[in-house]
Chains A and B, each alone.
Chain A
Amino acid sequence: MAELGAEEIDTQNADEEAIRVTDLRKSFGTLEVLKGVSLTAHKGDVVAIIGGSGSGKSTFLRCVNFLETPSAGQIIVGGEEIKMRPDGSPADRRQIERIRTQLGMVFQAFNLWTHRTLLENVIEVPVHVLKVPRAQAIKRAEELLDRVGLGDKADVFPSFLSGGQQQRAAIARALAVDPRVMLFDEPTSALDPELVGEVLTVIRDLAAEGRTMLLVTHEMKFAREVANHVVYLFEGRIEEQGPPAEVFGNPKSARLKQFLKTVG
């Protein structure tokens, strides 16, 4: 398993970089949440970001698409550097809007638009932001909903569905923009335990088909299984990283050992 993981990374190094984050910092007032985090994902990489509460893992993900304004650092998506002002805010509104459409985000709380049906949720961004012809967007949305097992729920409003169904719909919505990188922000943390599996199955399929993903998660077993690179954050710094077999099977840092013991 370890060798296979290493091999995969090697072949992908030759591929293009999907996303490169360099020395990302973020402070809330005097509290420095990210103290210089660097991370690169090549096309097809699944990078799992783990860490305890307050380690900065969610903040990191939210800084990548500027939902939070980083304090410093550099973010390159598909070879294009996001232009930043000295205070970290995006300098070019058009550019950040364009790049955001390449980063399909899936949230912990699903965040579907409750006044729209699942189908309307999925076609919203393609039709209105990306200007895809409506008929084409609907066709694609139906395929995607089918794919996440919600083909028969296209005309249902999100509030009438279970958390697992909503999260699968949210994944379909993120896929609809055909993102360069998918960002998962603890996608199963808000779910009842019996609903976690159905969402993980969908994510596992995406990983298998070579989707590039940054995955912030509490599901260690899952991270070990789908990721080809695992990053352990501790208090805003990368404490340890490597292939999953290394990080989980043979942790070096005492903090990571302690963390893995507590999360089981």
Chain B
Amino acid sequence: MEPLLELLGLAKSAELLSLSPPGWGGNLLRGLVNSLQIAFGAFGFGLVIGLFGAYGKLYGGVVIRDLLAIYTTVIRAVPELVLILILYYVGTDLVNKIAQAFGYGRVEISGVFAGIWVLGIVQGAYSTEVLRGAIQAIPQGQIEAARAFGMPSLMLMRRVTIPAMMSFAVPGLANLWLIATKDTALLAIVGFSELTLETRQAAASTRAYFTFFLAAGALYMMVTLFSGAAFNRIEKWARRGQPSLRGKN
């Protein structure tokens, strides 16, 4: 292995990327784990918001519908970087004010929690629209049949609406997940040590910009490939019972 790397002139890069110091590989992987943690949390939090948002927009009263319209419009109108700055500083400020009002001192907010909160709110706006569209795509008769057989509304949501809308929602949700993994890079601006910030620090300390950014790119790429495979399986499962569009297979 080592002679080969020597031959290719990559010995220096391998050393820089090695997992234990003086290599920076460990830092990059820690950054990746942080990024994935936040992406996962934000995507999940966004899904919860999205489900409530979609139901609210479809079945809610006038006030709820208007509030949700403002939410989805504003969030989707403002650049994410700006939103992250606003939500991060407003969020931490708000938490501190509340803490002080109750007589506590300044609280240190965990970066992961803040990241999930900020990106989750952004994701929620997009999820709301993806899920709303998916629910509307369900043949109404299926929901009507559930009602006609006396299904209470929560059970109807769990047993009929959500499984029936999945096949319509999965492609859009896969997009959102991939966006979430990459939006974590924007959190570098508030000093959260996710993959991009770790990469920048490693690159700046060693002057090996190309090596580290290429490595980070490869990591993001791997996340995308794995996600693609996972979502393919999820979609296959969600589409069970529907004939393939390619005809017989």
Contacts and interface: CB of A to CB of B under 8 A. Distances in A.
Given A107-B145, A129-B155, A114 B150 contact: no
Contacts, number: 78
B76 interface: no
B241 interface: yes
A105 B164 contact: no
Contacts of B146: 113
Interface string B141-179: 110111111111001000110011011000000000000
A170 to B, nearest CB: 8
A67 B240 contact: no
B159 A128 contact: yes
Contacts of A116: 241
Interface string A70-109: 0000000000000000000000010011111101110101
B149 A111 contact: no
B164 A115 contact: yes
B137 to A, nearest CB: 12
Interface residues of A, number: 32
Nearest to B141: A111
B233 to A, nearest CB: 16
B144 A111 contact: yes
Interface string A157-176: 11110000000000001000
Contact of B141 (A109, A117, A177): A109
B243 interface: yes
Closest 10 CB pairs of A and B: A157-B241, A100-B150, A111-B141, A101-B150, A111-B145, A97-B150, A105-B148, A125-B149, A115-B163, A115-B241
Interface of A: 65, 67, 93, 96-101, 103-105, 107, 109-117, 124-125, 128-129, 157-160, 173, 177
